[in-house]
Structure 1
């Protein structure tokens, strides 16, 4: 993409800053009132015309002003913003995880706070837990055809899952199953335990075995937790077509697609910005997504944090929030590994 000169960059930045506030087309007069340097309306109009020729701006038929194209927003987000966060927002993020040692608690709190601060949808994927060494597995009967499975690792990591089973299993049978499982999986990693138990289960197909197979093959297949917060924030942005919004909500509900996507983007360094058609989620082509990976330097286990919001996004604040939050979560994981 062609590098803009300082004046063109200043005009584009000012225009996008104004546009992202209300989604309305921006004219030369408004830019002259808000741009840092002193410049005449005629000069601004000339620069805007040049930016339009370059494909960074477009003129809506109903307005004399202009709005940024996806290319214009891409240039703005990657070349014209600075990663700088207000101390007030930093404090809110820090307070949300103050004295929190459990990463699962931290990511839930962070996801909620990010959704609140940005007014977008917060998404956080926890680090993979396949290398956690198991201490115990327990089952607790709930109402009718539901069982709570509790996995406790030697590190203190705890994972709970509610699973549905074909029929009611008596409490004594659940306790017996847990005892037998613990004899097999104690001291094994989650990945090792899964392979051992699935192999054993294939030789027996009663109701209890089916329940345990579901735990291992479905519920713990990713060994990850995905937290999605503030889904309904997206309803407030009329530019997101309702049909697309429904598809996106379905993706949030199903989760597997997002988990797979976040697993891929976590390999990249720094904050990643996906705008419009660049977004790897088909259901989010009318949105923007910002992500960053986080994790411990002593481990290759990484998680991903991000937001999904309208293309008309406050990129400077959102990028800064995601960058700072990733650092906070990394610090928590570092302390866990000490």
Structure 2
């Protein structure tokens, strides 16, 4: 769904939007970050829909799209979405593409998607390294869709298959398509890593013959399982709902479902993360080692949660995009 001046006038005031925030794009502040009044619209000019029409298992009534722009304590304005009915992927091309591509999965506890902080800004950072980026705006499981726990995975699988089906038009190599997820989006990226062949939806068209398996997976301060007391409580409640079946809870335990042959992993997590405890990534790293899966992990002393690409340049963690780029480069050259 595109948000322009006319469509914004029809949105409820509770969405917290102001028209000037969506009116202009492109200008930069003195710090190099887009100003709030220059925040890019969602979706970007180039994008594609995941499904022909309304996806399978739609509720009645349909969710109501609710974009919003919360202000962070440091003044940064995110762009977040609820009520996605027609999930889509924004395409961010590099000026000097090298064939690598990443599907970026924003987080938000499966209750919102942080499309700027953990999507658009990340895409621009990766573009600088020659990486073509695809940002996923996915459906949220707690908004009435059938088989709620499988809904985000269905969107992620479908996105990977459509990107691969059209790899030539994007100037990428299908075998160099990975995934990068943040927080609950990291859990979804991990789910895609362990469940690329799981039937999360009924076949739609020829694109579904392509593999949904990522070539590699970056898991940023990611939720690793759905266990009570160990998972992020909000992500668990929103994904699984009340009284989930044990088989569904086990299906989405990334750290216990990792098996030999899974894609290589890149993990980043701050030890002072008070939202998703660092133990989530520690457990994932331990599981990868047990299964013989190549993994690189960076544990930061400071950084908190939800930092995206916004850590201070003085912080070692601010270098994670460069490290991710070099790590991918090693995989490709190796």
User: TM-score band (shorter)?
Assistant: under 0.3
* TM-score, length of structure 2 as denominator length: 0.23
Q: More helix by proportion, 1 or 2?
A: 1
Which structure has the higher relative contact order (CA within 8 Å, separation 6+)?
1
